[in-house]
Amino acid sequence: MSDSVQLHIKGMSCASCVGRIEKALKQVDGVSSASVNLANETATVSGTASVSALANAITNAGYQLKQRQQQYGVTGMTCASCAGRVEKALLKVQGVVNAQVNLATEQVSLTLLDALNTEQLQQALVGSGYTLVEKDQADNSAKTDTLPFYRQPWFPVLGSAVLTLPLILPMLGMLFGVDWMLPALWQWMLATPVQFYFGARFYKGGWSALKAGTGNMDLLVALGTSAAYSLSLYLWLTFDGQHGAAHLYFESSAAVLTLVILGKWLEHRAKRRTTDALRALENLKPTEARVKRDDTWQMVAAASIQSGEIVQVKPGERIAVDGEVLSGDSSVDEALISGESLPLHKSSGDKVVGGAINLDGVLELRATSVGAESTLAKIINLVEQAQGAKAPVQALVDKISAIFVPVVLLVALVTLLGWGFSTGNWAQGILNAVAVLVIACPCALGLATPAAIMAGTGTAARHGILVKDAIALEQATQIDYVVFDKTGTLTEGKPELVQFTAITGSETELLTLAVSLQQHSEHPLAKAVLVKAEQDNISAVDTRDFSVVAGKGVKAKVDGTQFMLGSSHWMRELGLELPVDLINAKGASVSWLAKAPADNPELKPEQKPELLGLLCFNDTLKPHAKKAVAQLQKQGIKVAMLTGDSKASAEGVAAELKLDNYQAEVLPADKASFIKQCQKDGHQVAMVGDGINDAPALAQADLGIAMATGTEIAVSAAAITLMRGEPALVGAALTIAGKTYRKIQQNLFWAFIFNTVGIPLAALGYLNPIIAGAAMASSSLIVVSNALLLQRWKMQE
């Protein structure tokens, strides 16, 4: 950070907030002064502390910085140390809160305080050999169809292989006693283009690293192959012409370069496969759509469609926007968006999502969400965030990568001097040092984590499971207790009013008052009352002062009289004794209607309200709920249910599903308290919910899992989002997360084992440079290929 920086803060509401934030900022090392302005919600901080440190202090104090996310492509990176150096350079730019480089996608995700253009950010990378490019440009540069052959990614592989093969073949001939050795001049002529034309990329990258005072893979390869090439040149020029031909090593330098170039090309192809799921989602966006403008149907750019416009979709076309069907009937395939394998029938009044395929009928729909607000755009954004995020274990990898290249250079130097002074064979010492430099490439180390995350989160997305960040993957492996909300999660969330009994007055009056109180509510029970009233031709009357009592019910005034409709728990709080013997519907959710006394409209304790009647609702279990619970229990996970419904209703569901625990008549705050108690008992808890009242519990849980069929608040509070309201996806989400994290561990094991075993063998002379080059190239390929095995995972039916 420079001398002074201004931060925009969200969540401040009073003077005490100002004091807390100022205190938190002043405790950060390097801060000389900090002042907070409540009126414009800003903080001005002076000193040398990093913006990232200031952001962490504000977050820990319970507030948030106003930030924006931005992604760029990065060219010139070759290994984990490159990624770390790009991050470190960008974090020095004022206004950059966080920078995360993904070596596998060659992209950086930036968290910024203010809008920064590419030129401002590129200044931080001047002279380093790395270049920032706009994400769209990076995506376009990956398309090679229009490039001439000599710029195709495969050309360096083919060119270097053709020149290297004549150098390698004589080595095979020696196995059969045949002398195919080429003259020294021919060897030099074949090896030189490989070294300085096809290998030029390594010199450029290595030189950039040296100028920046660091090292990378390019530097190791350039030093190693240059040593072998120079040794061959020296031996050839100083050879006295006696005792046969000079023993040269041109084939070693050329073969190593060819193997490395081949490995990088194969690695690039494999890395492209890890982003297949994301590209498949991107390809769902149609470029054109048929829109009604000026009373005619016009083909327009899909990006230009405005909310509220009428869109026509013919059979076989992709739907361009989220919308509501106005007319038409058709089957719609949403498989790549929600993971739903069967087409869904859509007709007037139904919702459709952009990217789905209209199969057999013509649909006319009104656009409701377009651009960045569409479901598909949000899914793509979530997948990109997850694939660009770092798992906690990556912190260790970053620390090792920062010192890896200098340590390898030191080991190579010790190898050279050790062999030279102990045996006097400096040529062998150079070759062993070359083997050390070549096998120690840190590419596999940098790819181990991101390749697995990308493959795992991409596979999960294909099955309708969206993972918000890499931390969720690690958390999912430790879960031993899953807590479900009931309504809309384990049950269909479409209850029916099966009984309404009046205690005072008639049942018609009871239903009239109930529908009047519920006409402005979005609760599933309210919708059931509205449906029943419509069936019985009962209309609502006007109400005033309508309000929702969180977790309890609703209240409003009719003709100046206060009425309450809500749970048994609320009614008992109001001092009423409930005639539960009137309930005929077994296992039903029960709401009670009460009227406040005329002289006690504010419901003061001294005078109880009057009970007018009860309403009973039944909600059916989701088809696979029982199987989903059994699958979790089979994995050794305990399953509990929390609900605001009556004890009888909860008891019936718990018995049918064979749950380990349940609690009924629970308020939203009590759900979070229940989870907190489970955590105190030593459990790692996942909460599964879909409503506004589940948000506190989702935030409290070690892992929040939200149904996307629920509210936006629940989805934003969760680390994993299920695109279908299917309980079986919970077990699937934990399974794919666990498999992904295990792949990360396996990849890191392979990456470390290649170096911990290979470097000592090379230093002791047991590996020649060619074998070392093959081993180095294969290490990256093994890591990426192992990650790609996740794409074969299929959810159990």
Q: Which residue has the higher pLDDT, 620 or 396?
A: 620
Both tokens of 138, joined, read: 């990076």
Average pLDDT over residues 744-759: 85
Q: Which residue has the higher pLDDT, 240 or 796?
A: 796
Which positions are catalytic? 485
Residue 720 pLDDT > 90? no
Q: What is the pLDDT of residue 107?
A: 82
Q: What is the pLDDT of residue 146?
A: 62
Average pLDDT over residues 9-33: 81
Q: What is the pLDDT of residue 734?
A: 92
Q: Which pLDDT tens digit goes with each residue over 168-213?
A: 777 665 555 566 678 888 889 998 999 899 988 888 877 877 777 7
CA angle 156, 782, 253 (to 5 degrees): 40
Both tokens of 91, joined, read: 């974090």
What DSSP character marks residue 243? S
Q: Which pLDDT tens digit goes with each residue over 224-282?
A: 888 888 888 887 887 765 555 567 778 878 887 887 788 778 767 766 766 666 677 77
Which residues, including other chains, have CB under 8 Å from residue 527's CB and lie 6 or more apart?
Answer: 494
Q: Which residue has the higher pLDDT, 378 or 358?
A: 358
Average pLDDT over residues 783-797: 83
Q: What is the pLDDT of residue 466?
A: 83
Average pLDDT over residues 721-731: 86
Least confident of 59-73, 414-428, 468-482: 59-73
Q: What is the pLDDT of residue 696?
A: 78
Q: Which pLDDT tens digit goes with each residue over 359-388?
A: 888 899 999 888 777 877 777 777 766 666
30: left (phi over 0), alpha (psi -120 to 50) or beta: left
Q: Which pLDDT tens digit goes with each residue over 631-661?
A: 999 989 999 998 877 777 788 888 888 999 9
The highest-confidence range among 10-24, 114-128, 665-679, by mean pLDDT, is: 665-679
Which structural domains are found in the chain, ordered by start?
4-65 (3.30.70.100), 68-141 (3.30.70.100), 155-276+387-453+767-784 (no CATH), 287-378 (2.70.150.10), 457-491+622-739 (3.40.50.1000), 496-618 (3.40.1110.10)
Provide the mean pLDDT of the chain.
81
Helix (H, G, I), strand (E, B) or coil at 50: coil
pLDDT band per the 50, 70, 90 thresholds, residue 340? low
Q: What is the pLDDT of residue 637?
A: 93
CB neighbourhood size of 422 (10 A): 9
The phi and psi torsions of 452 (rounded to 5 degrees) equal -70, -40
Q: Which residue has the higher pLDDT, 485 or 388?
A: 485
CA angle 309, 311, 313 (to 5 degrees): 170
Average pLDDT over residues 571-592: 84
Q: What is the pLDDT of residue 312?
A: 92
pLDDT band per the 50, 70, 90 thresholds, residue 552? confident
Residue 596 pLDDT > 70? yes
- Cα-based torsion angle of the residue sequence 168, 261, 267, 432 in order, rounded to the nearest 10 degrees: 70
Q: What is the pLDDT of residue 196?
A: 92
Q: Quote the distance between the C-alpha of residue 352 and its chain's center.
A: 24
Strand partners, 642: 485, 663
CA atoms of 416 and 763, how far apart (whole Å): 8
Least confident of 390-394, 450-454, 586-590, 720-724: 390-394
Residue 559 pLDDT > 80? yes
Nearest to 256 by CA among 765, 766, 776, 763: 776
Residue 495 pLDDT > 80? yes
What does the radius of gyration of the chain's CA atoms come to, in whole angstroms? 33
Strand partners, 318: 357
CB 612 within 8 A of CB 489: no
Least confident of 231-245, 479-493, 501-515, 516-530: 231-245
Average pLDDT over residues 781-785: 83
Q: Which residue has the higher pLDDT, 81 or 536?
A: 536
pLDDT band per the 50, 70, 90 thresholds, residue 624? confident
